Amino acid sequence: MNFTQQIFRNCNLDSNALIYNNNKITYRYLRELTGQYYNFLKHKNIKAGDEICISLPDSPNFVALILANWAIGAKTAHPNLSIKGKPLSEILQVYNPKLIITDKNNLQRFHGMNYDVECLEQINSENVIIDYHRYKPDETLWYQMSSGTTGRSKMVRHTITNAFEWHKSWNDATKGNKNDLIYVTGKLQFNYSFGLTILNNLLNGSCAVIHDGIPTPKVIENVFKHNQITRFYIIPTFINLLSKFKRDINLKNCKTVSSSGDFLPEFMYKKFFEIYGVKVQNIIGCSDCCHNYTFNSDYSYSVGKPLQFVEIKIVDEQGNECPINTVGEILVKAPFIGKGYLNDIKNTAKAFVNDYVKTNDLGLLDNKGRLHFKGRKNNIIKINSIFVNPIYTEKEIIQYPGISDCQVIFKNNTLMANVVADSKVNILQLKIFLQQSLEPQQIPKKFNLVDNIASTWNGKKIRQNFTY
């Protein structure tokens, strides 16, 4: 069994695999590009089991290089392009790739490092017939880097079996097929986007829209103007932007508009429906679980029910299972759970326990079996004997007129808020507004007006400023 072979065996070679910056890329062209990169890797003496780092912006080249590596049987990792200097060096020390492939714009990131680095623009190789590696069930396919919202990113090991099992479970829920045209606003380095685009879309023989750069509201509007999108996958950051800055986006052809990757406040969920007439299907996943592990078939304000063959339980601090409608840590059991963290025995033992993975997310199960996400466990802070979840505070702040985004942090023993707002916002009036819905401990003592909110490479708000 080989993932790349499966993709090109099942597809119509003349149909579109990708639409990149409005250019149509067929499966035939993608196969030829994959063959060229396969030939190049062979000349670099890359073999099955070798570890390869691909550090590129979203493009057909990125996709083809992933597929070429998998055709050989090499293990891939794709750290995000925003990580530089010491953090990048530390990741590479854990991963220790035999080869790094990047482009001329990112070549400087690897200057002075003792690795074999190839520049994409200098690769010149002919297309060849691929001799596909036959994977064993437990062989590593790729290492998925966690988002790092609460600390240093970890490399999660995923096998060929993980990938196929997740694809089967997700496809069973979504009824995906070759006629889909999907658009994912997150970057391909992001777990959510990677799975939906490469692991799911290509195996179905369908088409995905990708582009370089950040998908601003104007960019998103342009994508819908030129394409009949059937599945729209978006992160809460962009739901907020599309709701704040209304765009001419026709969603009538969309079977699903799905949100994942971070907490989606209920008012955003409702506001999006008011503007665009479509309910957002909120779901949840994590790097440890390959990708998403729930599906929201009734479009309720929850993150849905477990996918097929997935078990979810909610536990308290002592590990005891919580009653219905009680908040605790979310534990997940599934056939596509990762095989631990690369070279990190200590954290692997903490997270992967008795066939379950401890997600470090908080949630509850209601009496209909639906999961409700309540934020990250590490984000909860204690102020004057009161537990404070910054997500709830952020939710209330963003609803105030003139504020487009915010980030609540706990720093120097003080609850603070970084706020993106127009000049008309009165901080005193904002505090009075917050008193209507929040306890005194939940209201920030200090507000900082900023141009943008610090976030991870995939749009999640950074939380490492918290004191735990």
Q: Are 329 and 401 within one domain?
A: no
C-alpha 374/C-alpha 7 separation (Å) is 37
∠ CA 339-342-346 to the nearest 5 degrees?
90
Show which of 377, 411, 430 is a domain's final residue. Answer: 377
C-alpha 6/C-alpha 272 separation (Å) is 38
Q: How many structural domains does the chain have? A: 2
Domain, as residue range, for 444: 380-449
The CATH number of whichever domain residue 427 belongs to comes to 3.30.300.30
Is 81 in a helix, a strand, or coil? coil
Instruction: Give one DSSP letter per residue of 170-202, joined into a string.
Output: HHHHHT--TT-EEEE-S-TTSHHHHIIIIIIIH
C-alpha 210/C-alpha 198 separation (Å) is 11
Average pLDDT over residues 50-70: 95
Is 438 in a helix, a strand, or coil? coil
pLDDT band for position 150 (50/70/90)? very low
The CATH number of whichever domain residue 275 belongs to comes to 3.40.50.12780
Is 297 in a helix, a strand, or coil? coil
Q: Are 275 and 327 within one domain?
A: yes
According to DSSP, the β-strands at 281-282 and 256-259 are parallel
Q: Are 308 and 320 within one domain?
A: yes
Q: Are 367 and 386 within one domain?
A: no
User: Are the C-beta atoms of 462 and 432 separated by less than 8 Å?
Assistant: no
Kindly tell me if the per-residue pLDDT of 466 is higher than 60: no
- Is 187 inside any structural domain? no
Q: Are 357 and 433 within one domain?
A: no
Mean pLDDT of the chain: 89
Show which of 343, 377, 411 is a domain's final residue. Answer: 377
C-alpha 344/C-alpha 155 separation (Å) is 9
Q: Are 273 and 394 within one domain?
A: no
pLDDT tens string 212-246: 887 888 999 999 999 999 999 998 888 888 887 78
- Is 152 inside any structural domain? no
CA proximity to 63, closest of 207, 179, 256, 170: 207
Q: Are 294 and 435 within one domain?
A: no
Average pLDDT over residues 139-155: 75
Q: Are 427 and 403 within one domain?
A: yes
- Is 298 inside any structural domain? yes
C-alpha 354/C-alpha 246 separation (Å) is 47
- pTM, whole model, 2 decimals? 0.85
pLDDT band for position 467 (50/70/90)? very low
pLDDT of residue 148: 53
pLDDT of residue 385: 64
- Is 455 inside any structural domain? no
Q: Are 407 and 318 within one domain?
A: no
Show which of 377, 409, 429 is a domain's final residue. Answer: 377
Q: Are 310 and 236 within one domain?
A: yes
C-alpha 9/C-alpha 392 separation (Å) is 48
Q: Are 239 and 359 within one domain?
A: yes
Neighbouring residues of 86: CB distance < 8 A, sequence distance ≥ 6 = none
- Pick 27 or 153 by higher pLDDT: 27
- Is 368 inside any structural domain? yes
C-alpha 71/C-alpha 83 separation (Å) is 28
- Is 262 inside any structural domain? yes
Task: Indicate the DSSP class of residue 286.
Answer: -
| Top mean-pLDDT range of 134-148, 177-191, 324-338, 373-387 | 324-338
Q: Are 395 and 301 within one domain?
A: no
- Is 156 inside any structural domain? no
- Is 128 inside any structural domain? no
> How many other C-beta atoms can be found within 10 angstroms of the C-beta atom of residue 450?
15
